Structure 1
Amino acid sequence: MKNYTAVIVAALGLAAPEMLYAEAPNIQTAGPIIHLADNLGEEAMLGWCIDTEGRGLNDQLHAHSCKPTGDDVLFKFVPDTGSITSATYGDVCMTYNAPDNAENPFGLVACDEADPKQSFAYDEASMEIHLAADTAQCVAVAPTIDDAGPFQSRDLIVSACADLEPAFKQWVIRD
């Protein structure tokens, strides 16, 4: 019995640091969004959403404070096609079009169901968004926070899922 107790205590000790530091964001955005489950240091507690860079429609994506208003953070996941689409700007989808660009590998282009770069897989159990072509790779946010006007931003990146802490790769998909 003592051995089982030691194993349980050790397991809780390893899990406790994540549980102590995990902090849910205070999402105020109306509409479909894809946001990190953890607030991950966003100063206003708004959380991190997939977003177009700059204001309005742009062909580059990053993670941004989930603004209370603003149509450029409205994205939805379409399980049937694996696409991540803008809920605002018509028929445009997230694409992994610049794999050699470590800081900005994702763009926003015309949707094409046949394009494997526009296909993603969401694992509800792990809350990870994977590249459909390589499920060992996760959509994640970079550790560095940048100022973005009154809000904040982070690079939206791809990294080996096994190398990432959960807070950087666990996404909530809200319709």
Structure 2
Amino acid sequence: MTISPSISTALIAATLASWIAQLSFADAPTIQTVGPVIHLADNLGEEASLGWCIDTEGRGLSDQLHAHSCKPTGDDVLFTYAADSGLIQSATYADMCMAYNAPDNTENPFGLIACDETDEAQRFTYDEASMEIRLGNDGAQCVTVAATIDDAGPFQSRDLILTTCDGLVPSFKQWVIRQ
């Protein structure tokens, strides 16, 4: 049986696409957190395979955010996203939302402040196809994590930062929103 070159090329392309898709999530985290979380799709080196969640810095309520191991318990990693308003809101702390409110702070540009739908610093868009969270008023900027991993007690943390989406390694910017 002879396979035509166009069918052979299509089969190779389909096989490669499937293989690449599997590789992109080859190191998926094991999310143990109960409740709504926003976490990276890739485990990205988290040593206990818990993954990386948006989290308040320190214990409990804080005005600064970072990425932290998705703790099995702990409600400071619980966040929701509302596409209609663009707000990323704490599920634990009433009326507190993520904001890009300290753009000059290279380590902690994101804070947790009182929700205000009119505040452009609090508006984000989520593209399901690319899995990117983008700044609402600048779609070229993605919410991402820093390359450096820090110890955080029995867990780990990374700075939560804003970076130009183009050229950024997908594992640093692909988020899963679990409502």
TM-score in terms of structure 2 length: 0.89
Superposition pairs of residues 21-36 of structure 1, within 5 angstroms = 22-36=26-40
* Alpha-carbon distance in structure 2 between the residues aligned to 1:20 and 1:162: 17
State whether residues 25 and 41 of structure 2, in contact with CA within 8 Å, keep that contact through their aligned partners in structure 1.
Answer: no
CA RMSD of aligned residues (A): 2.2
In the alignment, which residue of structure 2 is the partner of 1:125?
129
Given candidates 47, 52, 59, the residue that maps to 1:55 is 59
Which deviates the most, 163-172 or 58-67?
Answer: 163-172
In the alignment, which residue of structure 1 is the partner of 2:119?
115
1:91 corresponds to 2:95: yes
Given candidates 38, 43, 49, the residue that maps to 1:39 is 43
In the alignment, which residue of structure 2 is the partner of 1:72?
76
Runs of 4+ in 1 over 3 A off after TM superposition: 15-18
In the alignment, which residue of structure 1 is the partner of 2:169?
165
3-state SS of paired residue (1:167): helix
Structure 2 stretches lacking a partner, 5+ long: none
TM-score in terms of structure 1 length: 0.91
Deviations 1:48-89 (A, max 9, x none): 000000000000000000000001000000111100000001
Counterpart residue identity of residue 111, structure 1: C
* Alpha-carbon distance in structure 2 between the residues aligned to 1:173 and 1:16: 22
* Alpha-carbon distance in structure 2 between the residues aligned to 1:170 and 1:122: 10
Identity in percent: 71
> Which structure has the larger Rg?
2
Given candidates 142, 151, 154, the residue that maps to 2:158 is 154
* Alpha-carbon distance in structure 2 between the residues aligned to 1:157 and 1:168: 10
Which deviates the most, 21-30 or 90-99?
Answer: 21-30
In the alignment, which residue of structure 2 is the partner of 1:134?
138
State whether residues 82 and 118 of structure 1, in contact with CA within 8 Å, keep that contact through their aligned partners in structure 2.
Answer: yes
* Alpha-carbon distance in structure 1 between the residues aligned to 2:158 and 2:71: 14
Aligned residues: 173
* Alpha-carbon distance in structure 1 between the residues aligned to 2:82 and 2:153: 31
State whether residues 22 and 167 of structure 1, in contact with CA within 8 Å, keep that contact through their aligned partners in structure 2.
Answer: no
Counterpart residue identity of residue 178, structure 2: R
Question: Aligned pair in 2 of structure 1 residues 17, 123: CA closer, same or farther (>3 Å)?
Answer: closer
